[in-house]
Structure 1
């Protein structure tokens, strides 16, 4: 998909703490789209928190569930989807996202991500001795994948709804 029109989905990708859910909700409201957070959808379907899924099924079990949800959400129209930070790890997810909507990478600096996530106990991958180091490792691993899948990259420590809307106007069919 090279351009955005009002029948497509918008997928927000980026590391945890990038603002995908907060900005996604605001963007959906602005566009009169439906909003779905893929992690929240997984929790709703399973009836348990992500940490419990990771504990029982491991990351691989969680990633299988995530792939199923993303494939289903890709069939929606006029939906803003906040994806989980690791959704891009699977090649099939990247292909699905890229072909079924406009993908926006929210590229937020690591110190900002660290500050936003430091007290959040609901992020299983950050329940380690040095969460900032873990964020750095995740960034090294995932940044190339985010860039591969993204139609648009928006960078900064304070990404705004206005910046996203400007990017959408640039991608719109005229």
Structure 2
């Protein structure tokens, strides 16, 4: 959360000349409601069910850069689909950086709490090992310009002979 998935994903898709898809946006479009509303009505489990369905569909498609929500790695089926169907880039950011980047964002239901830092620390403890498990490439986004991050991703993609 707040690592730059959407911003960097858009820039990377432009660099690769591929379309950009944000799974959270697709969920909202298909539900006809925003993510906070889905969380309120269906709870996190309902949202994660929708997310798994969408990731299964989207990860079958080629020629795209897919940005997923930060919690997508929580489900084994998502990890398997992402890892088996594409190249996974983990954009790593510290909790302090995430807190700074998400401070005013009301579209993040898990952070609508008196202590968002504690929530982010807990999420990092749960998710970081899972991100590492599925990642083909790990890139630090801490206090970095998104274009520099994309340059690093492209360097890694070339080094792994994923792109020319």
TM-score with structure 1 length normalisation? 0.89
- Paired residues, number: 159
| Structure 2 unaligned spans of 5+ | none
CA–CA distance in structure 2, aligned partners of residues 77 and 145 of structure 1: 24
Matched with 1:25 is: 10
CA–CA distance in structure 2, aligned partners of residues 21 and 107 of structure 1: 13
Matched with 1:116 is: 101
Q: Are 1:61 and 2:50 counterparts?
A: no
Which structure shows the bigger proportion of residues in strand conformation?
1
CA–CA distance in structure 2, aligned partners of residues 169 and 109 of structure 1: 26
Q: Are 1:147 and 2:136 counterparts?
A: no
Matched residue SS, 2:139: strand
Q: Are 1:168 and 2:153 counterparts?
A: no
Matched with 1:38 is: 23
Cα RMSD of the aligned pairs, angstroms, is 1.1
Matched with 2:56 is: 71
Which structure shows the bigger proportion of residues in helix conformation?
2
Q: Are 1:137 and 2:100 counterparts?
A: no
Task: Describe the superposition over 1:65-89 as per-residue Cα deviations: whole angstroms up to 9, x where unpaired.
Answer: 0000000011110110010010000
Residues 24 and 156 from structure 1, CA distance in 2 versus in 1: closer, same or farther, beyond 3 angstroms?
closer
User: 1:170 Cα shift?
Assistant: 1.3
Matched residue SS, 1:86: helix
Between stretches 90-99 and 149-158, larger displacement belongs to 149-158
CA–CA distance in structure 2, aligned partners of residues 146 and 30 of structure 1: 24
| Structure 1 unaligned spans of 5+ | 1-15
